[in-house]
Amino acid sequence: MVRATVVPNDDCGIKCPISEKMKRCGQFKCPIDCAMSMWSGWSKCTAECEGGLQSHTRYIRVKPKNGGEQCNTVEESRPCNTMSCDRDCSLQEWTPYTPCSVACGGGFQERFRHVLIPTRGEGKCAKDGSPMRYEEQTCNENKCNGDEICIANQDLVVAVDGSGSLQENGFKKLKKYVETLLNRYQTQYYGKSTVKIGIVLFGNGVIMPDGKTVSPAISAQPLSSDLPTVITAVQGLPFKKGFTNMAQAFSMAEDMFIKGSRKGSQSAVMIITDGKPSFSFMTNEMVEQLDDKGIMRYFVVVSEESPDSDLMNQMKGWASQPWETNLVHIQGLDLLESDYELFSMKALTKFCPMAYSPQLGAWEADTYGYQHVKDSGYCGEQGKQISWDKKNGADECAALATGAECATFILGTSFLRGQCWCGTIAVTKADYDGWMTKEGKENPACPAGEWFSSMLFDFYAMNTFKEPGSP
């Protein structure tokens, strides 16, 4: 507090009192408000349906003092999952149809709807085989021509039964059948590597020195693209006269795949046997092991057993599913001997992922006016692009190439599927006819020199040499 002097004193007067004075004020502690943390995330609901609770929390960072603002709640709850506990499943969209089960003679394709969201409570869901989740349609109903060959990208191990139940004469018949069958496989086609084949002989009966272990199957030929060498290995297989130990065959085949299979190729084992398996438990274990690795299992069973016998039911269980497309049953060795070609065709059209009839191919080339020449490459340069539609295939590109007066065309594959370009090379009748031959299909020549290799393109030639009005 301050005050001013109104009348100053003189020498005789009394001195003025003090003009400034202080006194205490605000003599109480300052208030401190509460400070709280951010809320945590919401907890999991206490119930999956029919109503539950979830909560979140926070903690006090600074406690209130001296009359400061008090803290609010440190926990909050809210209702959750208030819907009914009963929920029907939700299904995904239909898958594309699977490839046809056989190359000719009438097969089937399948498509499925898998479960996207499972049922809950008393909810309902269609079963696997119901019409809502499974559809089947017929395909490749055209009759087989009898000259079908396999041009698939496949690593195939053929396991031949050499057990004593066959007897030596029966074993010779099996070898003859295998040789006939292998002659239908192509190790190169359209200028590209196709099938690699390995040979296993099972059915050994030799007891190892430990007195307990049976000698393993014989790796007669590792996976190879040299078909004459593979056939020679089959011809030299000895008759072992032992047990029908299929577990040996599967084990040796798995070893072959580890050592020589190709990335991107289908791995498959073809068992050719008279049935009568030994060591069923071990065989079943190996089947499950191969199934886990995605290795296909094909069976050719030469047996007079009834198709519904316990033996055949066991073979059906070991074959890849559906067994109808992965098992051929031949009613005995005498029937097999009567027509090796017929039964080799039956096996190939069921087991080969891509079978091809040269006779049908020649007819289609003559009818549609173009032929498939080379996979994964093209000859010459790419000309103008004539198609961008992903729905287009070889037939549509051939029609566009005819309108554009192209002698050849290049069809895109993979993510370039449907795109099509004119080729730039000149094609003579000798070139076209050469590509139509067996040698030309296996290893076609490029008139411009070297093929340009690319997995994104296939090469086709137009038949511009037909006489007007010819069929």
Residue 215: phi, psi to the nearest 5? -55, 145
93: phi then psi, degrees, rounded to nearest 5: -70, 165
Which domains does the chain carry? 149-355 (3.40.50.410), 358-462 (3.50.4)
Distance CA 375, CA 377 (A): 6
Is 348 in contact with 325 (CB distance < 8 Å)? no
Report cis status (omega within 30 of 0) of the bond before 209: no
Over the stretch 4-19, which tens digit does the pLDDT of each residue have? 988 888 888 888 888 8
- pLDDT number for residue 469: 46
Q: What is the 3-state secondary structure (H, E, C) of 145-173?
A: CCCCEECCCEEEEEEEECEHHHHHHHHHH
- Give me the pLDDT at residue 279, please: 81
Residues of the chain whose pLDDT is less than 50?
468-469, 471
| pLDDT at res. 160 | 94
Task: Answer whether 0.75 is exceeded by the pTM.
Answer: no
What is the token pair recorded at 245? 């130990």
Tokens representing 129?
A: 């085989």
CA atoms within 13 A on the CB side of 434: 11
Amino acid 206 reads: V
The CA-to-CA distance between both ends of the chain, in Å, stands at 126
For 27-47, the pLDDT digits (tens) are: 888 999 999 999 999 999 998
Per DSSP bridges, beta strands 35-36 and 327-330 are unpaired
Token reading at 90: 């939700």
In the chain, pLDDT over 90 holds for what percent of residues? 58
> How far, CA to CA in Å, does 167 sit from each of 173, 179, 246?
10, 19, 17
